[in-house]
Amino acid sequence: MARGHPGIVTALRDRYLDVVASIYIYNEHRGYTSLDRVLEAARRHCPQDTAFIAAITSHRADERKHYLMFRRWFERQGRMPLGVDRSFGHIDRFIGFAFGRGIDDLDVDTVVADVSAFEKLCRVIVLTEQRGLVQVEQLLRSRTILSDPVMTRIFRVIHRDEPSHFLPYRDWLVRRGRPAETRAERLADWCIHKVLLLVKLPALFLNVRTARLGQWPDAGEAAG
Ligand SMILES: [Fe+2]
Ligand SMILES: [Fe+2]
C-alpha cells in the first residue's frame, strides 16, 4: 500500500474487518439455530447417549457465545452487520449439497428415522467445524485481523472452542464404526470454502451498496 494514504489504508482495513465480521456473525447465528434441530434429532435418535447430547448442548452454547461476541464487536463500532444471504453460509451450502434441500427444509423426523441421514448430518458438522478451525488459524496469522485487538480476542476464543465442536460427532461416528467423512463430502467442503473465500468475500468487499441489517439476527429469539 502506498505511503501517504493512511486514509485509504484505514478504509480498506475497516472494510475487510466489516466484511469478515458480517460473514462470521451470519454463520455463527446460522450455526446455533441449526444446532437446535440437531439437538432435537439426537435426543430422539439416541436419548441414552447423554454425553453426546451434553456435547451438542455445549456446542450450541458456544456458537451462541461466538455470535454475541461479533454482535458486541459491531455494537462497539456503532453499526450493524452487512446483510448477507444464505449463499454466504458454509453450513447452508453444505446441507444443500448433502441433503438436496435447505436447512429450514430439513425434516427432523426424516433425520431421526433414517440412521444414515443422521450420520451424514454428523459428518457435515465434523467437516464444517474442522474447516472453521483451519480458517481461524489463517485469520490469526492475518496482520489485518491482528491490528484489531477485540477481533483478535474473538478469534482466539473461537480457536480454543473449535476442537470441542467436531470431536464429539467424530467420536460418535467412530464408535459406530462409521466413516467420519466421505471423499465426495470432503471435496464439497473444499469447493464451498473456495467459493466463499475467493468469490463471495471479495464480491461483498467490493459491493459498497450492500445494505446493513435493520435488526440483529437474534431479534425476537428467546434469550439463551
Ligand atoms: Fe463458532
Ligand atoms: Fe464452531
- In tens, the pLDDT along 26-48 reads 999 999 999 999 999 999 989 99
In the structure, ligand 2 is a single-atom ion and the residues with CB under 5 Å from it are 129, 165
CA distance 51 to 67: 24
Ligand nearest to the CA of 63: 1
Report the separation in Å between the CA atom of 2 and the middle of ligand 2, taken as the mean of its atom positions: 37
Among residues 10, 16, 72, the alpha carbon closest in space to that of 197 is found at 16
Which grid cell is 167? 470431536
* pLDDT mean across residues, the chain: 94
Average of pLDDT values for 183-203?
A: 97
CA distance 97 to 202: 23
CB 91 within 8 A of CB 46: no
For a pLDDT cut of 70, what percent of the chain falls above it? 96
Is the per-residue pLDDT at 4 higher than 80? no
Angle between helices 149-161 and 6-45 (to 10 degrees): 20
Report the separation in Å between the CA atom of 23 and the middle of ligand 1, taken as the mean of its atom positions: 12
Is the per-residue pLDDT at 3 higher than 70? no
Confidence of residue 223 (pLDDT cuts 50, 70, 90): low
Ligand nearest to the CA of 25: 1
Average of pLDDT values for 56-79?
A: 98
CA distance 31 to 27: 6
Average of pLDDT values for 91-113?
A: 91
Ligand nearest to the CA of 162: 2
Angle between helices 115-139 and 90-99 (to 10 degrees): 150
Average of pLDDT values for 192-213?
A: 97
| pTM (two decimals) | 0.94
Q: Which residues contact 181 (CB under 8 A, 6 or more apart)?
A: 123, 126, 127
Ligand nearest to the CA of 164: 2
Q: Determine the pLDDT at residue 29.
A: 97
Confidence of residue 197 (pLDDT cuts 50, 70, 90): very high
The region of weakest confidence among 42-46, 80-84, 208-212 is 42-46
Q: Determine the pLDDT at residue 61.
A: 98
Report the separation in Å between the CA atom of 63 and the middle of ligand 2, taken as the mean of its atom positions: 6
Report the separation in Å between the CA atom of 9 and the middle of ligand 2, taken as the mean of its atom positions: 31
Task: Indicate the fold that domain 24-206 takes in CATH.
Answer: Ferritin (1.20.1260)
Q: Determine the pLDDT at residue 2.
A: 47
Q: Which sign does the torsion angle of CA 141, 146, 151, 154 carry?
A: positive
Confidence of residue 111 (pLDDT cuts 50, 70, 90): confident
